[in-house]
Amino acid sequence: MLLRTFGWSLGITAAGLVLAFVLWGGKGLAIVAILSILEISLSFDNAVINAGILRKLNRFWQKMFLTVGVLIAVFGMRLVFPIIIVAITAKLSPWEAVKVAINDHDRYEALVTGAHPAIAAFGGMFLLMIFLDFIFEEREITWLGWLEKPLAKLGKLDMLSVAIALIALVIVATTVATGVPVHGGHGTIDKAETVLLAGVGGLITYLVVGGVSGFFEERLEEDEDEDDAEEAGDGEQAAQPAGSGPTAGQVAGLAGKAAFFMFLYLEVIDASFSFDGVVGAFAISNDIFEIALGLGIGAMYIRSLTVFLVRKGTLDDYVYLEHGAHYAIGALSVILLITIKYNVSEVITGLVGVVLIAASYWSSVVRNRRVGEGSQSDDKSEITTGV
């Protein structure tokens, strides 16, 4: 299963490293390898979050995630997205932006870095909403019960997460977004308006895409419940005239819509996770193709890891992993908003996610042992009572 799931990633890694050596020599090979490792370390929590969504989809959409989704992630977010950002912020045509990316690396780096406040505000708000909706949701299993249970009670207030996110955005826009250093260290600039607009854009994107996907998912679940109820009935459906009730085609169509919007939601989440990696990559290289190749290889492993977690049922076996990943999302959203003005090392960003994931994994292992020991004690008690 490992080879089948990670085979494409291993093959692309080998081909990518060979291509890097041919095009840029030993230095280019090292840069691409470092960028790949950077992307994997920054996005491990992304794989856990993606797996929680992807397991709701069938095999077809899982394959779409590994094919079309990879094209979006590698070519869209790592290659095309920065060029679009440069074209918009510098008021250039797409073709002129491409020429800048290829021929003037320093200017390209400056333009992408200059757009970082808007990118960070959009991605930060989107990820913050994911985190807030998670911690305000009531659930049977809690990791940090002392914190999650009171917050779940507060979450019964309508639109609480939206209100908190907007308050956070206003605070960031009026504090962090003022006096943002200009690339190169030549003075500062006020980015409050840009951050407000981009942050609201991230919030709206979350509400629209997440809301639509959630709507279709609920509709699909309702139809499945109705089908189960009809199957368990006393045979009245056989007496119904043909054409009454939802047809198989309608249910399949509804499932398709639910899967499509959930896939779209998944891609937006993946894009939000990639923002810090795309901008942070300029600390290592300002060559657009080295960045795209290195980050693209890392993105392939995250995709394969996501599918591996789904097919192994890891999230069901280690129930606190999703909690740790969502706390990592919360930390990443805060870090993104802080980086609007202040530099935060990618090492810190990566370590925060790894530590939280590792802690939630270990807590899951401890819980599984405790549950296993409890079930064995119950079995022994039943045997003794039977004797």
* Domain residue limits at 358: 2-235+245-372
Task: Give a yes or no: residue 385 inside a domain.
Answer: no
Task: Give a yes or no: residue 334 inside a domain.
Answer: yes
203-to-122, 331, 334 alpha-carbon distances in Å: 8, 17, 15
Residue 117 and residue 164: Cα distance in Å, rounded?
A: 20
- In this predicted model, what pLDDT tens digit does every residue of 139-154 receive, in sequence order? 888 998 899 999 999 9
Strands (E) in the chain, as ranges, are: 180-181, 188-189
Task: Give a yes or no: residue 339 inside a domain.
Answer: yes
Residue 383 and residue 376: Cα distance in Å, rounded?
A: 11
Residue 78 and residue 8: Cα distance in Å, rounded?
A: 19
Q: How many domains does the chain have?
A: 1
180: helix, coil or strand?
Answer: strand
Using an 8 Å Cβ cutoff, are 91 and 355 in contact? no
Using only C-alpha atoms, what is the Rg of the chain? 24
Tens of pLDDT along the chain (387 residues) come to 667 778 878 888 999 999 999 999 998 899 999 888 888 877 778 888 888 888 888 778 878 887 888 788 777 877 888 888 888 877 888 889 888 888 888 888 888 888 888 888 998 998 999 899 999 998 888 998 899 999 999 988 888 999 999 999 999 999 999 888 876 656 778 889 999 999 999 999 889 887 877 776 676 666 666 655 666 665 554 444 444 444 333 333 334 677 788 888 888 888 777 776 777 777 788 888 888 888 888 888 888 888 888 888 888 888 899 999 899 989 989 999 998 988 888 778 878 888 999 999 999 999 999 887 666 555 555 555 554
Residue 304 and residue 72: Cα distance in Å, rounded?
A: 15
Task: Give a yes or no: residue 386 inside a domain.
Answer: no
Instruction: Identify any residues that bridge with 239 across adjacent strands, giving them in sequence order.
Output: none
Task: Give a yes or no: residue 383 inside a domain.
Answer: no
Task: Give a yes or no: residue 7 inside a domain.
Answer: yes
- In this predicted model, what pLDDT tens digit does every residue of 38-94 receive, in sequence order? 888 777 788 888 888 888 887 788 788 878 887 887 778 778 888 888 888 778 888
Task: Give a yes or no: residue 204 inside a domain.
Answer: yes
